[in-house]
Structure 1
Amino acid sequence: MMKKMTFQSLLLKGLKRFGELPAVTLLPSEETLTYRELLAKTELLTSYLFELGCGRGTHIATLIPNSLEAVLFGLAVQQSGGTLVPLGEKLGTREVGFILREAKPKVVIMASQAHTATILEYLEESNSQDIHIIGLPEFGVEYPDQFELFQWPKEKNELSLSAAMPEDIAVLSYTGGTTGTPKGVMHTQEGLAAGLLSAAIEDPLDDRDRVLLSTPIVHSAGSLLWRSLTSGVHVYVMRSFDAEQFIESIKEYKITTTFMVPTMLYRILDQTKKMDYDVSSMRNIYYGASPISPKRLKEAFEVFGPIMRQQYGMTECNIVISRLSKSAHFWAYHHNQEVLKSCGKPCLLTEVRLIDDKGNDVGTNELGEIIVKSPAMMAGYYQRPELTEEAIRNGWFYTGDIGRMDENGYLYIVDRKKDMIISGGMNVYSSEVERVVNQHPAVAMSACIGVPHPDWGEAVCVVVVLREGFSCSEEEIIGFCKQSTSKYMVPKVVYFQKNFPLTPIGKIDKKELKNKYAQGMLTIK
């Protein structure tokens, strides 16, 4: 038996089990590493990190797009016992600068032209000989002279591995920063190990599975990547998402499993109407960020079959709050479509409560804040003790999500506390407005936002993306809502866009929408 269960030990034991089986393939180049090659290259990089002075507790930031290098350096940081600080390409320069100054990584491994100036500024401000900025070649990036250009070591030095302790911080993952300042979420070795085991128990994968990842592996896709590599799965990594290439890859490589956000699924469903496809190999589609509409789910069933699996989580909870299983999707679709609006039932290692403003548990189908207790939960926010005390109370994490639980134990998210609109003294849940608008046959997606108004405090505004080939007017959407919802929830104005701005993890960026439309609302009567 393992004396100390850590994320490091589970990953390394997983890599050693599958030898010549293919581990990771990069698309479209088809460059492939077997598990033996993946382990050997990981050990070379770990030796390289040791030469730079890294070890247990060292902060090592990576800013690498989806690639074999992104996988390898992620594994090497864990093998070294260091703390991974993953940075996404789509983060703004302000966010990247803030994270670097707060986390103070000793080493930054990068392959992004967009952020070279910001990282150079961090290096110059630090004025330290101990900080290394490593630029990866073959990514088309022009690096400043002050950066070091990475070269593969010819041989590894004798590895003196530091076994990570369960309480060590394995990953310092920053929230997207779409509202206020990014927060560093600290995940321990033990917590990430618990999340890995929870996923393995509830969502079994084995060495016959082929997983296709096209979202950034520094976010949710990374959890599926690490979970796959402990089970001998063959993982295919796309540089970025393209609906047509995604569909073609499923057929060519007989993909069985993937992860996506609903906006990606909708694009794939629309693309299948324009091309021949074969997705018969698929067994699992994990999706998160928001529930899927019954209308689009019907299309997904027609294309893929009943293989949908929803997961609800957040950075602080390592994506293990609740899951809506394949069988629950299938049953709900045929017997009770209301359940499709839920995010399933609490995960095996997770306790969930819903409480009112006084901390009392609410009754069945009553609204309350969702609070969570799990061994996979974060240890706290980096250098933010006051925020940590506010978020974690008596061992429970306060999610900031408003939800309800039905008589069968299904959990429903009604809205984020911060997305709730108070218009004329009435509480308007933006997700409820979106559910009504999305039922209109011309609507592909919608986003409800509250914007300042001199009379109502906030006014209900809806931004709509129409389905391809459909047209619709503002008056038609408003009239449709009047027939289906309370008067105070009817949008005062409707805007149309071709697509939505997205956060780095693929969610609709409501902050950007609010900034865009706030002034226009002031004249609405």
Structure 2
Amino acid sequence: MYLTQGLHRSARTTPDRPASVFMGRVRSFAEQHDRVARVASGLHDLGVAEGDRVGILAFNSDRYSEYLLAVPWAGAVLNPINTRWSPVEVAYAVNDSDTTVLLLDDTFAAMAPALRASCPGLRTIVHCGEGPTPDSMVSYEGLVESSEPCDDARRSGADLAGLFYTGGTTGFPKGVMLSHANLVTSALGTVATGQLLDEGSVLLHAAPMFHLADLAAWVGQIMLGGTHVMVPFFEPDAVAAAIEAHAATDVLLVPTMIQMLVDSGAVDRHDLGSLSRILYGGSVISAGVLERTRARLPRVRLTQAYGMTELSPVATLLWPEHHEGERIASAGRAAPHSEVRVVTADGAPAPSGVVGEIVVRGGHVMLGYWNKPEETADALRDGWMHTGDMGYLDGEGFLFVVDRLKDMIITGGENVYSAEVESALSLHPAVMACAVIGVPDSDWGERVHACVVLAEGADATADELRDFVRTRVAGYKTPRTVEFLEALPLSGAGKILERELRPSRDTVPM
């Protein structure tokens, strides 16, 4: 199994079918096949060799889909970079992965000089936007026009397909190594349930394509030979308009996006009658949002996916018919490709209803963490991926996640690791000690909340601390609320008692 397999099939069987639709530009599978082969050849001309890492920092587009195909076609390794990261975080991912070629669209082209200065191994930057190619950058369309098609390298199976950076508990992102088989296994296992995509589906990419959840849906659609429609990023009216204009049947969203879509009035301004299925993840959907979604989009079937980047990413699925009663609070049951257990501290299977650590086994489990053997060994034990999430299984195999990683916050579907934010906040000279936690938020599921102890004689405002942190981490990781304390509550072992850290009257809302 390999990522380009579906493209070869579609170019033979349905060459004239639309492969991608973006900004009024429609490209058939025959055209996409030719362009991908030319981009891959162009990457070879830029010095990309087998196993080299090629990154992209761009919003959704048809060229993004071509990148996801052309890099493995060239025998190289994908490195899709989070568009919400700060320049420091982007540079870390480029340097840590030894990425040699990076694609930037118009939005991020201005970062090129800073990235060249901070990334000594970055040889070439390719402009993949709509505007003129800036000086010192290579034109993406120039690669297509000047390169002759090359043969597909057909790296497959256990060969490394991509590095997907996710937040790290040490304060630095970790590169999750996923193989071709990992990605295809997760995608086809999810599609096999019949709850997402079919051979005639039209998939709308509204969630960011760098995110593995959307990329997994992309893989499924590539394998099935369906059409991809892209909007640059999520905006309710743009999403609704795209569904109407292109008769989209499937879309992947996080619950916050679903809420924004149904509450914005966009569903009244556009005909969403073609939409059949929404796959969502990141958190459970609230009863209120579910009720409003069913009222506004009665024909749409909702499926929740639970997983993580390390699982390519799907572990369990909550099917539409299970969005009832107590099961709505669950993450569903193991997907066809996945084996899920809950284990006690000694590694034994926990009885039904007993909370323990969630562990997962299957062909979708990552190869490991890039250049992090200790973290890999800790996560992959006896054939099982130890998620660090706590939960329990009921008598029918439904998984209930009761506590995410103690240092992870899920805000608007994005993972934020407390240690990463604490590391940035602690650099402020006025901060003596700090702890970052997630607290409930009606709009985002959770919000990032900082508890701060100032150094003796020091002074700082919430705005000042937020501005300071924002220069070091992505905006969505920046604390939305700040609480000033005399001291942090500690256990006898000197560990911070996070359960005692809750917003109080001193919380400053943002």
From 139, 142, 148, the counterpart of 2:138: 148
Q: In the alignment, does 2:446 pair up with 1:447?
A: yes
Q: In the alignment, does 2:20 pair up with 1:24?
A: yes
Q: In the alignment, does 2:391 pair up with 1:403?
A: yes
- Per-residue deviation, 1:178: 8.4
From 342, 351, 354, the counterpart of 1:354: 342
1:80-112 per-position Cα deviation (integer Å, ceiling 9, x unaligned): 121011112211111111111111112212221
Unpaired runs of at least 5, structure 2: 410-436, 454-469, 488-503
- Per-residue deviation, 1:152: 3.5
How many Å separate the matches in 1 of 2:405 and 2:198?
39
1:273-320 per-position Cα deviation (integer Å, ceiling 9, x unaligned): 884443222210111100001111011111112510111111100122
Aligned residue in 2 for 1:512: 478
Q: In the alignment, does 2:172 pair up with 1:206?
A: no
For the 8 Å contact 1:61–1:85, the answer to whether it is kept is yes
Aligned residue in 1 for 2:178: 187
For the 8 Å contact 2:449–2:482, the answer to whether it is kept is no
Q: Indicate the SS of the match to 2:154.
A: coil
1:224-259 per-position Cα deviation (integer Å, ceiling 9, x unaligned): 122112222222100111112222332232221111
Q: In the alignment, does 2:295 pair up with 1:302?
A: yes
For the 8 Å contact 2:40–2:70, the answer to whether it is kept is yes
AA aligned to 1:268 is L
How many Å separate the matches in 2 of 1:420 and 1:408?
28
Call closer, same or farther: CA 1:16–1:400 in 2, change over 3 Å: farther
For the 8 Å contact 1:16–1:39, the answer to whether it is kept is no
- Per-residue deviation, 1:77: 0.5
Aligned residue in 2 for 1:132: 124
AA aligned to 1:402 is M
- Per-residue deviation, 1:402: 0.9
Aligned residue in 1 for 2:429: none
Q: Indicate the SS of the match to 2:184.
A: helix
Call closer, same or farther: CA 1:160–1:38 in 2, change over 3 Å: closer
Aligned residue in 1 for 2:243: 250
Q: Indicate the SS of the match to 1:66.
A: coil
Q: In the alignment, does 2:226 pair up with 1:233?
A: yes
How many Å separate the matches in 2 of 1:323 and 1:212?
20
Unpaired runs of at least 5, structure 1: 422-429, 455-500
How many Å separate the matches in 2 of 1:74 and 1:230?
13
Q: Indicate the SS of the match to 2:303.
A: strand
For the 8 Å contact 1:95–1:177, the answer to whether it is kept is no
From 155, 159, 163, the counterpart of 2:154: 163
Aligned residue in 1 for 2:100: 106
Q: In the alignment, does 2:286 pair up with 1:293?
A: yes
- Per the normalisation by structure 2, the TM-score is 0.79
- Per-residue deviation, 1:216: 1.2
Call closer, same or farther: CA 1:382–1:321 in 2, change over 3 Å: same
- Per-residue deviation, 1:445: 5.1
1:195-221 per-position Cα deviation (integer Å, ceiling 9, x unaligned): 232123123533422221112111121
Aligned residues: 439
For the 8 Å contact 1:56–1:82, the answer to whether it is kept is yes
From 306, 315, 323, the counterpart of 2:317: 323
How many Å separate the matches in 2 of 1:452 and 1:293?
27
Aligned residue in 2 for 1:174: 165
1:149-200 per-position Cα deviation (integer Å, ceiling 9, x unaligned): 4414435436244331422211111114587100000011222222232123
AA aligned to 1:378 is M
AA aligned to 1:88 is N
- Per-residue deviation, 1:140: 6.5
For the 8 Å contact 1:15–1:229, the answer to whether it is kept is no
Q: Give the CA RMSD over aligned residues.
A: 2.9
Call closer, same or farther: CA 1:419–1:521 in 2, change over 3 Å: farther
For the 8 Å contact 1:207–1:234, the answer to whether it is kept is no
Identity of aligned residues (%): 26
- Per-residue deviation, 1:15: 4.5
Call closer, same or farther: CA 1:48–1:446 in 2, change over 3 Å: closer
- Per the normalisation by structure 1, the TM-score is 0.77
Q: Indicate the SS of the match to 1:321.
A: strand
